[in-house]
């Protein structure tokens, strides 16, 4: 059960951070569209994207090492998440 919790937590973190990155990049793009180049900052999107990558790494490592072998299901690549 602990492994299942870790896997679910990792994918939830990845999805949340990915969503937050999308929102941050959208807000930056809207600032640039409204106020011109140099407006806003992409820093939020970059940081959330970094967090998403770490969570995707954690999820795929746990999935591939524990879940896939135990249940005979396909492994996943970080890039496909």
For residue 72, what pLDDT is reported? Answer: 97
Q: Which two tokens stand for residue 16?
A: 């949340």
Quick: pLDDT tens for 13-56.
999 999 999 999 999 999 999 999 988 899 999 999 999 999 99
**Residues 6+ positions from 59 with CB-CB distance below 8 Å:** 7, 10, 11, 14, 76, 81
**pLDDT at position 5:** 79
What is the pLDDT, as a whole number, of residue 70? 94
pLDDT range class, residue 4, cuts 50, 70, 90: confident
Assess contact for 53 and 21: CB atoms under 8 A: no
Question: Percentages helix, strand, coil for the chain, rounded to the nearest 5?
Answer: 80, 0, 20
Q: Which of 61, 49, 54 is nearest to 7 (CA)?
A: 61
Whether the predicted model's global pTM rises above the 0.95 cut: no
């Amino acid at each position: 059960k602990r492994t299942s919790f870790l896997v679910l937590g990792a994918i939830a973190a990845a999805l949340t951070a990915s969503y937050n990155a999308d929102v941050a990049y959208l807000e930056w793009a809207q600032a640039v569209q409204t106020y011109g180049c140099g407006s806003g900052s992409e820093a939020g999107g970059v940081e959330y994207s970094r967090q998403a990558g770490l969570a995707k790494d954690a999820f795929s490592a746990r999935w591939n090492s524990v879940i896939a072998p135990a249940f005979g299901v396909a492994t996943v690549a970080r890039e496909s998440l």
